[in-house]
């Protein structure tokens, strides 16, 4: 291959396009906020259901959020695990 030809694997930063852009940047934060709201319910009401729901919402938030805004998803994931464990093993 000489210098005039380009490889198909060469991707310049300007050519990188987001696969499925969200209509709003706040749309990625909603599952993260809902996962944080499910933490008290996991401790008080039903640890299995609300812990699982919070974990799934946090995973969705981690998948949808842009690179700099994944904090809610990470906190929601840890909160869902901690809330489910506290609700299951600590009697209130």
Report the C-alpha dihedral over residues 37, 58, 62, 27, rounded to 10 degrees. Answer: -40
Asked, for residue 2, whether it belongs to a domain, the answer is: no
pLDDT of 52-73, one tens digit each?
999 999 999 888 887 777 888 9
- Domain assignment present for 52: yes
Tracing tokens 């489910």 back to the chain, one arrives at 84
Mean pLDDT computed over 48-55 = 93
12 within some domain: no
Domain that holds residue 79: 24-89
Number of domains in the chain: 1
Q: pLDDT (tens digit, 9 = 90+) per residue, 78-90?
A: 999 999 999 999 8
Residue with the two structure tokens 């464990």: 85
* 7 in any annotated domain: no
Nearest of 54, 52, 40, 21 to residue 86 by alpha carbon: 40
């Amino acid at each position: 291959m000489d210098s005039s030809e380009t490889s198909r694997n060469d991707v310049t930063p300007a050519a990188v396009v987001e696969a499925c852009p969200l209509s709003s940047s706040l749309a990625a934060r909603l599952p993260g906020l809902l996962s944080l709201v499910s933490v008290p319910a996991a401790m008080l009401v039903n640890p299995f259901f609300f812990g699982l729901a919070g974990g799934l919402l946090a995973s969705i938030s981690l998948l949808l959020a842009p690179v700099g805004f994944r904090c809610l998803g990470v906190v929601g994931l840890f909160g869902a695990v901690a809330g489910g464990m506290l609700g299951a093993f600590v009697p209130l």
